[in-house]
């Protein structure tokens, strides 16, 4: 069965890069309608933007989607990861500004609020995109790959010169609520030198030590330290899930990322859909449905909700 939110879910915060206050409301949507953003502050142009891989336009340090009128929403990766991790593929996201609120820098506030309001099952069959042929994109030392698998698996590797980050890797089968338990509370991160550079470019104006983990060489500047010893690579996996959700349906595939970012994951989806015979849409049988991210998730036993 397909899912949507049971009732409207409201979030208020600031944009990470713009620093502007923003209000965002998730509304229930009909089966097969997909995920769409609607800019409530836009009145003279088309305010609706599909959350889709072919709507992504180049942007620094985040994922941004725009429609044909140029109306856009940025920093969508954390809410997209939350929705995919809860198996929600039909929702209208009303937002009164150009950037999704950063909240605490992770997907956990979105997940917690959605679970509090409840998830509605719909009388429509679940469909998934099954990857049939391997596809890969590269740029320098960075690369990303999708290959056939019976469920979504994410394998990610990072390597930073900063001793507090260093080389990290993690692989995770995303079935059985793994995203909610293992990844969704991992926060966005950056180096102090990156913060200084972004501020000079007019970015990260809403960033604080409360909504990002900031590293400076061997030091962790954010109060309280890390939520996980490998929080940076877990957050990269979170981002990857959010960016892969722009495929428009659950993916049955193994994703491997090495130093990959938002732009590279979008290039990978574009390559996948451009390759003849590389992917097909399937109705999910009972086994496939049981392997999808978000199946069986509930509030009980989630340590970060305690």
Q: Which residues are catalytic?
A: 262
Closest CA to 84 of 61, 60, 63, 57: 63
Cα Rg for the chain, rounded, in angstroms?
18
- Encoding tokens for residue 99? 């950037």
* CA-based nearest residue to 29, from 18, 37, 21: 37
CA atoms within 13 A on the CB side of 132: 11
Tally of CB atoms within 10 A around 223: 7
What is the number of residues in the chain? 306
Nearest in space to 255 (alpha carbons), one of 107, 177, 141, 143: 143
The sheet with strand 21-28 has its strands ordered as: 9-14, 21-28, 91-95, 35-39, 48-50
113 φ, ψ (degrees, to nearest 5):
-70, -40
CA distance 138 to 146: 12
């Amino acid at each position: 069965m397909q899912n949507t939110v049971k009732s409207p879910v409201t979030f208020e915060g600031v944009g990470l890069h713009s620093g502007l206050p923003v209000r965002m409301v998730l509304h229930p949507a009909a089966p097969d309608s997909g995920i769409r953003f609607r800019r409530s502050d836009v009145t003279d142009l088309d305010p609706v933007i599909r959350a889709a891989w072919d709507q992504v336009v180049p942007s620094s340090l985040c994922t941004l989607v725009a429609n044909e009128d140029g109306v856009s929403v940025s920093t969508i990766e954390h809410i997209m990861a939350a929705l995919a991790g809860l198996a929600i593929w039909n929702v209208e996201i009303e937002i009164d500004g150009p950037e999704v609120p950063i909240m605490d820098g992770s997907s956990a506030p979105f997940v917690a609020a959605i679970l509090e309001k409840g998830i509605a099952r719909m009388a429509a069959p679940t469909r998934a995109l099954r990857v049939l042929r391997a596809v890969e994109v590269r740029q320098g030392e960075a690369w990303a790959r999708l290959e056939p698998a019976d469920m979504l698996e994410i394998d990610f590797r990072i390597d930073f010169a900063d001793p507090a980050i260093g080389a990290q890797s993690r692989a995770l089968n995303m079935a059985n609520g793994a995203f909610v338990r293992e990844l969704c509370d991992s926060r966005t991160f950056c180096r102090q030198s990156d913060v200084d550079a972004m501020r000079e470019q007019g970015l990260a104006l809403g960033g604080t030590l409360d909504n990002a983990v900031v590293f400076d060489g061997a030091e962790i500047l954010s109060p309280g330290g890390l939520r996980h010893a490998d929080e940076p690579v877990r957050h990269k996996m979170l981002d990857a899930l959010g960016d892969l959700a722009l495929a428009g349906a659950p993916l049955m595939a193994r994703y491997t990322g090495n130093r990959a970012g938002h732009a590279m994951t979008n290039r990978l989806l574009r390559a996948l859909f451009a390759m003849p015979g590389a992917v097909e849409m399937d109705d999910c049988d009972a086994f496939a449905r049981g392997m999808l991210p978000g199946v069986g998730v509930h509030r009980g036993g989630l340590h970060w909700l305690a």
